[in-house]
Amino acid sequence: MNTPLSTSLSLLCLATLAACSTPRVATLQTPATIVVAPTPAPTTVLGATAPVVKFSASETQFIAVAAGAGMYEVEAARVALTRASDPQVRSYAQMLLDHHTANNRELMTLVGSKGHRVAPGLPTELQQKVSTLSGLSGPAFDREFVRMTGVQDHTAAIAAFEQGRRTVADRDLQAYIDKTLPTLRSHLQQAQDLAGRMAG
């Protein structure tokens, strides 16, 4: 585990994941409670202190957005596994849970290898979306989960990852974006297919 050389290297990233009125205008902003900061205790590698890689503001922002969106997808998918009535929606939720859990783990490992950590906890705005979903059940849940989590939130995540690809300089983060984008696009396409089927 890499760690900070001094406390002056602390990086904080604050903002919020906006709920979108339509998929067309879906945007992701930096979640308000996601903190990306150097890990707290020094570690030595072969007798030398491992350096902290200093992230740029755009890299820190991307990490916060990606971490917040990924944690939200996992929580929303967990709710769907208990509230959805449509077997295809439950299957879609299980896929989201599996893929986003793996993606989140990969991002946390990458960030940790650079001497940083992402503080746990879902941002308030995203927790409210999970709470909204938790208050629904049956076909009403199915429609809202597919519309919001499947279509709107994946549209926003894809836009954020595409923007990150243009602004992030760290090669490992670039590789993570390149690996994750096709998965997000596949999730969106499947959600759009589900939405079309539900619409009749």
Mean pLDDT value across residues 101-129: 94
Residue at token pair 């150097």? 38
- Residue 22 covered by a domain: yes
- Residue 2 covered by a domain: no
Q: How far apart are CA 149 and CA 144, in angstroms?
A: 8
The pTM assigned to this predicted structure is: 0.79
- Residue 121 covered by a domain: yes
Bridge-based pairing of strands 36-38 and 48-49 is unpaired
> What is the signed CA dihedral for 135, 136, 142, 144, rounded to 10 degrees?
-70
37 or 170, greater pLDDT? 170
Is residue 76 predicted with pLDDT exceeding 90?
yes
- Residue 59 covered by a domain: yes
> What is the signed CA dihedral for 162, 164, 168, 173, rounded to 10 degrees?
-90
Is residue 42 predicted with pLDDT exceeding 80?
no
Query: Looking at residue 15, what is its pLDDT?
Result: 33
Is residue 133 predicted with pLDDT exceeding 50?
yes
Query: Looking at residue 120, what is its pLDDT?
Result: 84
Query: What CATH number does residue 173 fall under?
Result: 1.20.1260.10
Candidates 177, 160, 178; CA nearest to 15 is: 160
- Residue 27 covered by a domain: yes
Q: How far apart are CA 104 and CA 96, in angstroms?
A: 11
Domain total of the chain: 1
Beta pairing partners, 117: 37
Residue 198: count other Cβ atoms within 10 Å of its Cβ: 15
Average pLDDT, rounded, for the chain = 83
Instruction: Please calculate the CA angle 77-129-161 and round it to the nearest 5 degrees.
Output: 70
Candidates 184, 89, 71; CA nearest to 125 is: 71
Is residue 4 predicted with pLDDT exceeding 70?
no
Q: What percent of the chain has pLDDT over 70?
A: 76
Beta pairing partners, 49: 44
Domain that holds residue 76: 7-199
Beta pairing partners, 14: none
Is residue 61 predicted with pLDDT exceeding 60?
yes
Is residue 161 predicted with pLDDT exceeding 70?
yes
- Residue 88 covered by a domain: yes
- Residue 24 covered by a domain: yes
- Residue 90 covered by a domain: yes
33 or 35, greater pLDDT? 35
